[in-house]
Amino acid sequence: MNSLGTTMQVDLLAGTGYRPFTIPRPQPTILVFDSGLGGLTVLGRTTQACPGAHIVYAADDAGFPYGRLSENALIIRVLAVMERLVARFHPDLVVIACNTASTLVLPALRARFAIPFIGTVPAIKPAAAATRSGMISVLATPGTVARDYTRELIETYAASRRVTLVGATRLAGLAEQALKGEAVDDAVLATEIAPCFVEADGRRTDVVTLSCTHYPLLLERMKRLAPWPVEWIDPAPAIARRVADLLSSARQPGLACRDAAAVFTDGVGLTGPLRIALAGYGLAQVVIEPMPLAN
Ligand code: DGL
């Protein structure tokens, strides 16, 4: 039995035709999952929105970057890692804080596990609503920009907008470098974001949606390097609100988040500065659960 969940379904009347009832639990476990460190941008907001929750942050750094994996390989990988994490931490809810995975793997995860999964997908609907020029850019990994899911979001919510899809090959890695305290060259960053800024017919891009959870880690620098000011959309606050709504018993003002832990499937990049950065997110306890990526 899960000892950390927010609710548990108790079916004392199995076979009698009565519906199971729910017992609220005091401290739900929320698992926040990403390929690497980008999910920390979602974790920060989720911790604020659910102060009474037990948080486990899981980084599949052995598989990083997910943007380079084929769709089939990514589905197999995420299911295998999740199998291990669910068995070990018994989460009540999982946040897939990764657009590259969410735009592909959510149906398979929901079919496999009887746990709510909240995904992170490109914020195309809010971007389409926010633009005044009618020109928006989706800054994401090459995997996310290639997804059918992303194309369908555009067709559904932004058919009347001019949408530029930018699959950045280096940005997630640069965000990891920056968080580890390594130098990141402004010129390289500027080159990565440059395709987001489009001018046509006297109009120009005015909204950029950060559709990889790593990118908000570089937001202040990207704002400084942008050729002109735009609205940058970070979906983390909306995801955190959704988590809090689903786990309404997690809102316990005054009850601090306890026992937050970070899990890495490789851990090779766990430098001193990174450990300090993790502690800043409340993740003082770091565990390595080795899961090499199969070739
Ligand atoms: N943080 C992930 C996302 O939101 C992607 C980084 C990667 O390529 O692994 O898409």
- Is the pLDDT score of 23 beyond 60? no
100 Cα to the center of ligand 1, angstroms: 5
CA proximity to 84, closest of 33, 28, 8: 33
Fold type of domain 7-120+237-288: Rossmann fold (3.40.50)
17 Cα to the center of ligand 1, angstroms: 45
Kindly report the protein residue whose alpha carbon is nearest to atom 2 of ligand 1.
98
Q: What is the pTM of this model?
A: 0.90
Q: Where in the chain is the domain with CATH 3.40.50.1860?
A: 7-120+237-288, 124-234
Task: Quote the CA–CA distance of 59 and 266 in Å, as a whole number.
Answer: 9
Measured in whole angstroms, the distance separating CA 97 from the mean position of its chain's CA atoms is 2
Ligand 1 proximity of 67 Cβ (cutoff 6 Å): yes
For a mutational test of ligand 1's pocket, the pick from 70, 81, 100, i.e. the residue with the most ligand atoms closer than 8 A to its C-beta, is 100
Query: What's residue 52's pLDDT?
Result: 83
Domain 124-234 carries which CATH code?
3.40.50.1860
Query: What's residue 172's pLDDT?
Result: 98
For a mutational test of ligand 1's pocket, the pick from 34, 74, 218, i.e. the residue with the most ligand atoms closer than 8 A to its C-beta, is 34
- Is the pLDDT score of 6 beyond 90? no
- List pLDDT tens digits, range 87-125: 999 999 999 999 999 999 999 999 999 999 999 999 999
Task: Quote the CA–CA distance of 247 and 241 in Å, as a whole number.
Answer: 10
- List pLDDT tens digits, range 225-258: 999 999 999 999 999 999 999 987 545 555 555 5
50 is catalytic: no
188 Cα to the center of ligand 1, angstroms: 18
Long-range contacts of 218-221 (CB under 8 A, 24+ apart): 218/171, 218/174, 218/175, 218/178, 218/184, 218/189, 221/178, 221/184, 221/186, 221/189
- Is the pLDDT score of 295 beyond 70? no
- Is the pLDDT score of 8 beyond 80? no
66 Cα to the center of ligand 1, angstroms: 6
Phi-psi region of 17 (alpha: psi -120 to 50; beta: other; left: phi over 0): left
